[in-house]
Structures are given as structure tokens and as C-alpha cells.
A and B are shown apart, each in its own frame.
Chain A
Amino acid sequence: MEIDGEKTILERKQSTYLSLDEKFEIRKETYGGQQYSQIYFTRLHLMRTLLYSLVPNLKPHLPVCKILGLEKGKECIIVGTLYKHMKLKPSILDEYSKTRSVTPLVKPHNFMHLDDHLILEDESGRVKLGGTMLLPSSYITGIVVALHGMETEAGDFFVQDVLDAGLAPQIEFPLESREDKYVVLVSGLSVGSSASNPLQFQLLVDHITGHLGDEKEQAIAAQIVHVIIAGSSVEIPRGLLNGQNLASKDQSRLSEPIKELDIMLTQIAASVPLDIMPGPNDPANYSLPQQPLNRCLFPGSAAYNTFRSCTNPHCFELDNIRFLGTSGQNIDDLQKYSEAKDKLEFMERTLRWRNLGPTAPNTLGCYPFIDRDPFLIDSCPHVYFAGNQDKYETSLLKGTEGQLVRLICIPKFSKTGVAVAFNMRNLECHTLSFGTQFDL
């Protein structure tokens, strides 16, 4: 794409794109009565093989046991899936509780309680975990860990050490392209919500397409090679979708925000490659992995081959730099059921646990896979992002084997007016803030 300037013509930079979304796609799978046990089983099986291979290096002197093989007072390593027993965890059975509580339930943003405790489970059985090494507050149901410890008289397992899988191996960071190329990441556009400001969005679009600012700014815009929209692009008036039949007038109201979005996206797609991921508020399915937004929603932009509707989570490579990210549900869910100093720490944990969405299917909606767990991270990305966060945060994570990962929390654009620009040359990133006078 080019921009007609009077003096110079700025050429937009290009990059090679490789989609790795295949594992997040649900194609032939059907709901045929399968349950969630299979996904746990697969996860345990794959992770156990991995963890077993680590034991000889980390704790060569210890035997490896199954939960049933535990003997009182004998130190060993056990591998299993964690289950966190949570007192406050909401249950669908509460709907049927015999007496409605008089005071309405205040929904806490976090369901932790001091009485929460961890249990380790493998296919043979369960054992309650004790000791101070493993804090219930930082762990959640669904991750596979290796524990060093022993069974106590009471039948609990006293944990002395936790063996992390650590960051997965990483493909080599490409050295050849040493020029500034930017990827713009934005999420939470929430077109159609009261919080969204059309002008702000327009400014973003104009910036990306190079219709804004002086030459210098346009030169920077020309370095944008890709745009990622990480979820919650529209907000559909939920009130209309209460299962009652809709009047046709209401029906068209339903898709108005999408039409508006399509217009904006068409402008972007006309100038730069664009990936759109579904998120919590989009017209997409609920369970992760969310499937690409249907192209029929975007009659305008879908005509461009630069427009890609992707899955959530989304994985791809740009010039051999690997990106992995979600629209934020996985991280938000962790925040509800565990705690950390910031969102980046949650993101870091998922990488160390090698699972993008460990709380799926327990608290995070998930498709009941039969023979695979698409959330396992077998290769560490260079960029790892989570959409729809409250504020922009970023850090560079270094792995023990020299892995470098840029973690990015993408803030909600409708709330903050902030998009993130990521430089592929040096893994650095900065924000693009768009203010309008209406905000004053």
C-alpha cells in the first residue's frame, strides 16, 4: 500500500506470515457424549512424560511413584494433576439451593478462601497435599506438577519441593531481519458499547493506515506490518438475547455494531494485514478455543486477502518470530481463582506450567477434546500476549535455556484509548495512545 505524499512515497514494509492456528481449530470433532476426563488424561499423560524426563537431572536420587504406590515416610516424586478445593467456588447447584439467601449474593471478583487446599490426582487416586512449599493461593486446578515429598502419618503428602516444567524450548530468534517492523496489538474495541468512542477508534485506524500526522509519523506508520485485534471488538446488547423471540427491529439492532466494525476494519485491511480474534463479548462460541468469527459478519473487509479471522488462542509466525496470545479469558480466569502480584506473573506462570489455559475445562469453558490438549505449550513463543486487560503491562521473560519472551498485557482500547506497538527487531514495545477532546 502506498500513501500519496507530495514529496516522497513511503513504502509499507512487508513480512512473511505463517499461521499456526491449526491445533486450535475444531473441525471434525463433534459432541458425541464425551466428557472432560479425556482432556485431563491427555494432559497428564503428555506432561508426565515430560516431567519424568526432567527428574533424573533435578533429583536423581529419588524414586518416582504413583499416588497409590506412596509409602508412609518414604521420600519420592509424584506427578499428577492438581485439584484445588475451593470453598467459595460458585456451583451451578446453588441455583437449586433450598433457601434463597435473604441478602443478595455479592459476586466477588476472586473466589479464594483461607480454607482452600490442594489435592494431587492421577489416574490411580487422590492425595491431599500439605506443607508450606505449595501455596494454594498461587496454584489452580488443572495443572500438572511433579512434587517431591513424602506421605505423612495422617495420609497427606508433605511437599518438600515443586518441580516446574519450566519454559518450553524456543525456536531460534531470527537475526537476519534487523530493521524496525511494528506489529500493532489492540483489544477491547467494544464497538457499540457506551464506553467506546468512535473518534478514538478512527484515530487509531488513521494512524495505522498512515492518514494521520506529518511525514515522520507516517514513516513510522509505514513500518507497521501487521495488526492484531485480540477480542471483544463489539459489544452486542445482551438484553436482546434472553431467549425470547426477537422482533425483526431488534434483530437488526443486534448486528449494528458489527456493521460499524466492518467499516473500520475494511479501512485497515485495505492497507495492512489484519488478524481478528474472537473474545468474550464477540458473536462467537463460548468455549475455548473460540473459533474464527464467521466471515459473513464482515462482508466488507472479508473481501480483502489481508483480512484473517483467527481462533482464540491465536498462534502464528511473522518473519519467523513466534506469536502466541489470547483474548484474555485464560488470564482473567486465573485471577479469579488464584493470586499474583500482577497480570504478567499469571502469564509467566502459564508459560512455566506449559499450559495456556490450565483452568480449562474446570472454570474456563473448553471444548471436550478427546485425544489432545491444544492448550499445551510445546514451543515457547517470542511474544506472548493477553487481550482485554485493565492496563498496559509488559516485561521480558528470560528462560533458563536462553529463551526470551516478550509478555504483553493489551489494555482495553475502549477504556484506555491505548494500543500496543511491538517492534520485531528488538522485542521492545511501546504504547500508542489516542486521546480525544471529549475525554477532557
Chain B
Amino acid sequence: MSNNGSARKRQLPPTKSQQPTPSKVQALGEEEFFDEDVFLDETLIPENDESLILRDIEERQALASCLSQWARPPLSPAYVSQTQSIIFQQLDIDYVIGDSHRELLPNSFGPAAIIRIFGVTREGHSVCCNAHGFEPYFYISCLPGMGPDDISRLHKILEVRMRESNKNSKVPQFVRRIEMVQKRSIMYYQQQKSQPFLKIVVALPTMVASCRGILDRGIQIDGFGMKSFVTYESNVLFALRFMIDCNIVGGNWIEVPVGKYRKTTKLLSYCQLEFDCLYSELVSHCLEGEFSKMAPFRILSFDIECAGRKGHFPEPTHDPVIQVANIVTLQGENQPFIRNVMTLNSCSPIVGVDVMSFDTEREVLLAWRDLIREVDPDIIIGYNICKFDLPYLIERAQTLGIAEFPMLGRIRNSRVRVKDATFSSRQYGTRESKEVTVEGRVQFDLLQAMLRDYKLSSYSLNSVSAHFLSEQKEDVHHSIISDLQNGNSETRRRLAVYCLKDAYLPQRLLDKLMYIFNYVEMARVTGVPISFLLSRGQSIKVLSQLLRKAKQKDLVIPNVKQAGSEQGTYEGATVLEPRAGFYEKPIATLDFASLYPSIMMAYNLCYSSLVTPEDVRRLNLPPECVNKTPSGEIFVKSSLQKGILPEILEELLTARKRAKADLKEAKDPLEKAVLDGRQLALKISANSVYGFTGATVGQLPCLEISSSVTSYGRQMIEHTKKLVEDKFTILGGYEHNAEVIYGDTDSVMVQFGVPSVEEVMKLGREAAEYISGTFIKPIKLEFEKVYYPYLLISKKRYAGLFWTNPEKFDKMDTKGIETVRRDNCLLVKNLVNECLHKLLIDRDIPGAVQYVKNTISDLLMNRMDLSLLVITKGLTKTGDDYEVKAAHVELAERMRKRDAATAPNVGDRVPYVIIKAAKGAKAYEKSEDPIYVLENNIPIDPQYYLENQISKPLLRIFEPILKNASKELLHGSHTRSISISTPSNSGIMKFAKKQLSCIGCKALISKGTLCSHCKGREADLYCKTVSQVAAVEELFQNLWVQCQECQGSLHQDVLCTSRDCPIFYRRKKAQKDMAEAQKQLDRWDF
């Protein structure tokens, strides 16, 4: 993980210590899915321990009564008497290994997988449904000529081999049965409708993998010799298999009719409704009407504070948990209904918050566990909880020897499991994480969601909330936390308020970004459990849809061994060479709507319509029935065999159209949110199908499809360019010759040469309609927007004003320009923004040039606000581990030597500025802590900023506009005068004697303010000094008042040290400048 953790919370150093429950470390790659059998009895703690815990609870009656007011609503009599169907929205599905249910399944015996479905009813009751009878299975293709006897022989051999490789298992029968079924492989066009396949049903889910291994390696069958088998659908997770076979999609509503369920005799969970039923009795409801709504989930957002030691990041083996803040909200409501904070040692009350203070850490932890149990949240959210808060709490409890703490799940007496997991995916990169399994509760870590969905310059909670909620968050440095804790109840209250805010912000982000709606809808559309969406990559979503569709069509999906990079790469999308320049006439943009999905639909590109080169020769298909793609592949047309990818895409796009239409009709804001989430999910899903076929390390790569898609895409862009340039000409009766200036993936930019936006819009519409007519449906070219003016810099870099109606532009649109790069200083961003603003909106080229010159001059004259120059990089490992010396790492080392307590640790973001250093100093030696620079008047290196930071982005913008951009901007007369401040701590200054100088002319004087020559200019000089003082005073006031506002208190000092806040350094500087300014002013008091 690179520099994106929050400032205070990071990955803990990997602990090799024993975990709460035995678990294996595994890689959770995009490409591989594993089932993990959890045996019910192994996870439970002995009964006598349980009674001990219960007694413990009784001892803390006061707490219990406090917590019980937050319990879920009591069950109605109809539920108690089981005379009502149970309808609930499921949130999480897992399975556990237990004994087969004797009454429901009289013919089975021995251990079996029991599917557990957790959910919430409309009334807000929690549900745990144990579905019995679903068995794990997979397919292999039947060898030609295999009869029933051969199959039973195969069964026996397999059973023996399985027993050999699973010696410890007590399962009476490994391979339950082998059935012959008629199916067809999804791969390649085949003329015959079906072939025999063998469906192998095994006892436990993990046996699928071990059985697959045996078959992969090959087994000896009498009469057939040594045979290895390709397995089909052997890599489908058991819970997903169940969902697919029962037609259940993530987050939908399930009904268990009255009489079909029975109350569990010995309750295993803390849910209000727990029952057993046969999996076949479940009724899965479509997402319509009532069943598209959301149940009132309970969402818990929490945050913990730990008292770290100076200079160390908190470690669970040493540092206590001192506070836990909790906010609980019902889905669909604006305000949380529970706000509380649990503190170690007394804490003054907080308005509107239940403060619960305890004397020992043990009590704090247990109180939190009891809260979880009483409140029974369905979803647990927070910021970095998966990597920090949850593992910390669990490891801390372990250090303290509180065995009964980690029972946070919904299963009685079952401890949570902690695993180290690596998540790697092409799209999101490799990330290490801890996986804490809390049974029955969905975890939603906002940090993970942010990392996944947004590209931000920083992912600290502070800057994320500044970005989305437009408010700065107070940041208390972890070195102060211990001091606050060791103070009195007032200082601890201060900390509690801070902690509460940290717990509340994730909830606000969740609401603001509609995460619940968007993710539930995504789960519904793609059919995977909600928990998969955050922890797994894109491909499982497509695979789930593919499997569902394949099941309808009696197709099976082969488990192809990873071809890896052998298959190589293919040519990507095309980019028409941009004609860089500053266009002062309107530019029309013609876009292909959902280009790749449309291509796949139009040309029937699918696994099942692909014809292999051998088959082309063998089958001798009539040419009118096939398409040869520009990349040379052959696909049959839909008249012969309709592909299932095009079918999935059609469904997705039709569903999206419907969702959008419903969205227009909808009035209720919650309904709107659902529909909007749905249409978004549908769009994303449709677009990810193409990527799925091209993922070489994915589930079912098929480069024939993906390369065909891009080749058609390229062809279409070229085709469009040609048509536009042929038709819209003076010869063709138009005023000007149209010119395509740029084209990328799915859009073409056309300059029609007409100066009015309205005219261009008319032409754009005409062109789109004309060209669309030449394509196969549903490929469609749309006219959407006009850029005017338009600054085209290079491939994927442009800026322009965006018009969708002829009266007024909508916004300024930029792409690929340094406005949000994370490793640039703020100066670059501000400068680029301001220049674009001046160029595009004010249409003032000289103004923009002047602005750049002024800024450069300010930089050289040392008048630049330091906070604009701060560069921030994350410290991911210590100095020794870096191969190349990096500026921020070197600085962290130096800072540690100065003061270990406040120096940045691994995982922190290190802010630095580049300072003037001795000649020939390496770049990495020139980094310095901004605060240190402020305090010691260290000169910054303006040349570095000029050359390495601002020059490139500036030249990029100005080169299409100015002839001698570099000369004009970077080497003009404004760069001649420079000013460098004198450091107050450098070696030579220790020997220098300070002497008074005349304020007017800097001549040395023995006393007073001015030299004899300047005496007459007193008034002038005084005016100048006092005006500087006034400016500093005004800044001082504005900055400090803002910080008071952020911290939300007038009577308390500002403690915040958030280095992510843009005004932090300014505030520091203002304080220092103020003291200096006053000294200057005092010299006039004669």
C-alpha cells in the first residue's frame, strides 16, 4: 500500500503472535477463490465459560440496563407463534459445517454444509436462517462411451483417492454421488445442442477443490487408461453457488412461508428470529415494488483512541485502548439514534451523548462487546476499521487475556477470526490487509471504499471529509493523545468529542455518497453478496452474472488454468493523433454511447459464438452467418447462435433504461436513491464485461473477444473521422470544411469551423444522426456537448468549457492536467487552475501570462506562502528498506534524530519543502520539515520549484498558445530579482553579531530607527511598515478564527496539528510573523 493510509491509523506491523482462532494465511487474489470450511463446534467456546461470561454481565447490571434500551424492537405475537411467513432482506450469506438436520433431511447423516443467511425484516428484527440440504458440486465432461458402470467405477476410485488426500476428515462419504447431465460448454460455437457431463456432488465445500486437483492430475480408469479431466464450475464459492442456484441476488428479499420453517431448538445465534428450513423452500423475491426497498438496517460507525507511547505508533501489545465512540443509525434516517462514547477513567458529560466511563480497560472492551451484542448492528462501518480498529481491539484483548472479548459476531460464543490477507487486482493494485470475519455482520470500511472508488490526493479522514463534506476535521497528533488521557476528566472529554467526530464522519460520508444504496444495488445487479464488493475485484461480479445466465441456458463454464501472460496482450483502443492547439471556435464532441457493450451486442461477440480456426475449416459455415472481425477472429451471427454476453449486456442496458425512466417518475427520495444506485450499478456492470474477457489472469479470459472489441472500436473511430471530413465540406454545401482534431476510445472531436455554439450543436446533431445510420444497431453515435474554447494539449490532456445548451456553459472540464496530482505542491494546482480560469473563462491570455509572471516573481522573491510549497509523500517503510534514497525518507530520518517523539513513522505522510542547500547537494538532501523551515527562516529553493514543479505543467498549457512560452514565462525580466532569507540557525550565523540597521536604507546605525539620511521619510516608511503589520494581523485573525470554527469551541485552545489542512502552515507562520511585525512596529515608538 502506498502513501494512502490515514495519518493516525495504519497497518500494524505484522504480528507473528498467535491468532485468536487457528486460521490459515491465504492470498485472496482476484483470480482465485477459496472456500474455507468452518466447523461449528470448533469455533465455540466451552459451555462453562459461557455461564462465566453471563455472570460477568449480571455483575454489570447498570451497564446492561443502559444498553438494553437500544435493543431491537420486540417480536410480535405472530412471529413468536410462528404463524407468519418470515420475509427479510438478506445482507450476508455464509455457511458452516454441522451435522445434517435429522428432521428436515432424514436420509442424510454426517457433517454437511449449512447455509446461513443473515438479514433484517421490515420491522427491524434480525434474522438468521439456516438453510439445509444444499450440496457442493461441480462438473466434468463425460468421456465418450462412458456408461453407468464406468461412472460408478469412477465414483469408487474418486472416493478412494479423496480418502487418501483427506486423512483427517471424519466424513463417512466424500463423493456423495455422480450424475450424468446434458450440458454444453460455454466455449466456442458448437453445432450440437448438448453433450453428456458428469455432475460430481461432494460432501463438503472444500472437497470441491481437492477433488478438482485429483481430476486435474488425472486418474486411472479401467478401460479408459490414465485420464485427466477439465473441470467445470469448480471454482465457484459455495455461498455464491447457492445464491445462483436459488436465484438469490445480493441484498434481495427472501421469504420463508409459514409452516416451512421450524424454530431452532438450540439457538446458535443472537438473532431474534433463528430457524431451520430446507433450501428449496426459500422464495427469492424480484426487486420490484415493496421488494426494491431497504430494510431498516442498523449501521454502527465506531472509532477507537489508543494512548501511544511517545515516538511510537500504538501497538496492541503495549498501548491501551482508552476510548471507543459509537454512532448507530437506522438505514433511511437522517440522525443517529445512539451516540455514545466509552472511556477509560472519568470523562465529563457531553450534550446529547451517553458517556460511559470505566476504571479498567477490560471493562471498556467488554462494554463495547456488550454494546455490539445488544445493539446488534447489521453493518459495521468506520474509517480504516478493517486494518486498524478491529484488529487492534482483538489483539489488545488477547494481550490483556480477555478470552471472552472477541465474540462480536451473531453466532453465540463464536470468536471472530483474524486473517492476514493480500488483495491483488490489476485495477486496484496489491494491498495487504487484515481480514476480520465477524459472522453475520457486514463490514464496510470507508477507507477501502475511498481507495477503490476515488482518486484523491490524500486519503486521510481529514482530507476526505474536506473533499466530500467541505469541512476540515480537527486533527490531534497522536503524541498529544496520551497527555489528554492523563489529564483530568475535562481533557478526556476533549478527546471524547474528537473521537465521536471521527466516528460520525464515516456515517456522514456513507450518507453523502449514498454508499448503502449504491452497494446494495450493485450486489443486486451483479448477484454477489455485499461483502464481496469491497473485498474482491471486478471479475467475480461478471462471473456471477455469467454463471447465472449459463445456468438458464444449460451451459457450463470451464475452469481454465491460468494462461498467464502466455496469451500476450492485444492492441488497445485507438487515439487519433491530436492536433494540439488552442481552439477559439466551438468544438463538437461526438460520443459513442456505451461503445464496447454496443459492439459486443452488434457483432454477437461471445465465448459461445466464437469459432475456432479448426472449426472454421471443419464446419464450413456460410459466410452470411459469420462475421470476421478486423482482428481476424470469426464469430457466428446471432441468427445462428445468440451469444450470452450480448444477452447479459442487453438485459443490463434495458434494465438501466427502465431504472432511469423510473427514476424520472419517482418522488420519494429514498426510492430515488435506490433507482439511481441501480442505474449506476447497471452501467458499471455493462462496462466491466469487456474487461472481464480481457483480464489475462482472470476467471475466463478470451482475448479473441476483447481484441475484436477494440479492433471494431478503432475501425469506428476511423470511420467516423472519414465520414465527417467527407460530408461536412464546402463542396458538400457547408460553410466550412469540418476537421477532426482529436479522437479517443469512444469520442471524436470535430471542429466544424462555425463560430456560434448553437450552429455547431445543430451540425453535431446532424453528424451524429447521419453517422449512426451507417452502423449496425445498437451502436450509436451521440452528440452531447460542445467545448468552447478548447485547449488541446496532447493525448488525454485537454481543458475546455463544457456547453450542453447554447446559452450558457455548464462547467470547466479538464482532463489529465495537474489539478489533482498528489505529488505536486498546492502551488502547481492553484497556478494551473487560475491560468485555465483566465484563459478559458475570462479569455484573457495576457492576464494569464501576467499572473504566471507575478507568481514566479513572488516565488523568487521569497514572498510565497509556504503551505503552497509543501509536498507530501507517504512513508511506507523505513529508510534502510528503500533502495533509492528519497527526499521524504531522508527527512524522516533526520527528524527522528532531532526529536523521536514527533518524527513521522512508517505509514505517516511526510510533508516537506525543498530548501536551498550547499552546491551539488543531492535532491534528497534538500528536503526539510516545513515547520522547521518556518521557525528557522531557512530559505527555500525557488529554482527547484520553478524547474521541477511548475515549469512542465505551465509549458504544457501555454505551448499551444504562446510562441516562445518557455522564454516568455520562465526566463523573462520578472525572474531577474531574487531574494533569499537568511537562516537563523546556520553555522555562520552563530558568529554573526546582530546590529541595528536603518529601516529605510538598511544602513547600520547605533540607535534609533532611521539613519540621518532617511529622517525626512519617516512618514513614508512608517506607512509601509504599518500596512504590512495590518495585513499580517488580518491574516492572523482570519486563520485562528477559522481553526476555532473547525474545532467547534470558542473557549478552548486550538490543538489541531493537521498537516493536511491547507491553513495549518499559514496559521503557524502568521503567529510567527505577528511577533516579528510587532517588534518592527515597536521600533517606531520613540
Contact = CB atoms under 8 A, between A and B. Distances in A.
Interface string B1030-1066: 1101101111111011001111111000000011000
Contacts of A126: 351, 1048-1049
Given A125-B350, A285-B1026, A251 B811 contact: no
A430 to B, nearest CB: 35
A284 B1049 contact: no
Contact of B1049 (A121, A236, A287): A121
B1030 A286 contact: yes
A125 B811 CA distance: 43
B1027 A241 contact: yes
Contacts of B811: 102
A286 B1062 contact: no
B863 A243 contact: yes
Interface stretch (A35-43, A159-167, A211-219): A35-43
Interface in A278-313: 283-287, 294, 296-297, 299
A37 B351 contact: no
Nearest to B349: A68
A96 B1062 contact: yes
A123 B1022 CA distance: 41
Nearest to B1077: A31
B734 interface: no
Nearest to A251: B1020
A361 B1020 contact: no
B77 to A, nearest CB: 30
Nearest to A151: B351
Contacts of B352: 155
A83 interface: yes
Nearest 3 CB-CB pairings of A with B: A286-B1030, A155-B352, A255-B1019
Contacts of B1039: 92
A183 interface: no
Majority secondary structure of chain B interface residues (helix, strand, loop or mixed): helix
Interface string B1001-1021: 000000000000000011111
Given A287-B1036, A294-B1084, 18 more contacts: A31-B1074, A32-B1075, A37-B1051, A41-B1051, A67-B351, A92-B1063, A96-B826, A100-B834, A102-B841, A121-B1050, A246-B1024, A252-B1020, A283-B1026, A284-B1030, A285-B1029, A286-B1030, A366-B1037, A368-B1040
Contact of A81 (B812, B863, B1042, B1051): B1051
A258 B1019 contact: yes
Interface string A224-253: 000000000000100001010010000110
B348 interface: yes
A67 to B, nearest CB: 6
Nearest to B1061: A93
B349 A296 contact: no
Interface string B278-297: 00000000000000000000
Interface in A71-97: 81, 83, 91-93, 95-97
A19 interface: no
Interface string B176-217: 000000000000000000000000000000000000000000
Interface string A263-291: 00000000000000000000111110000
7 contacts: A35-B1053, A36-B1041, A125-B351, A251-B1020, A251-B1024, A284-B1030, A362-B1041
A285 B1081 contact: yes
A30 B1078 contact: yes
A395 B467 CA distance: 50
B472 interface: yes
A33 B1041 contact: no
Nearest to A92: B1038
A294 B1018 CA distance: 10
B1034 A286 contact: yes
B4 to A, nearest CB: 18
A27 to B, nearest CB: 10
Given A37-B1052, A126-B1048, A294 B1026 contact: yes
A204 interface: no
Contacts of B1081: 285
B804 interface: no
Interface string A353-389: 0000000011101101000000000000000000000
B804 to A, nearest CB: 14
Given A30-B1075, A236-B1027, A254-B1024, A93 B1063 contact: yes
Contacts of A258: 1019, 1023
Nearest to B830: A96
A81 B1050 contact: yes
Contacts of A365: 1033-1034, 1037
A44 interface: yes
A219 B1034 CA distance: 46
A378 B253 CA distance: 69
A259 interface: yes
Contacts of A286: 1029-1031, 1033-1034, 1037
A196 B1018 CA distance: 25
A98 interface: yes
A285 B1078 CA distance: 10
Interface in B520-573: none
A68 B863 contact: no
Nearest to B1039: A92
A123 B490 CA distance: 10
Given A122-B1051, A287-B1033, A98 B1075 contact: no
B797 interface: no
B1037 A361 contact: yes
A147 interface: no
Contacts of B1049: 37, 121, 126
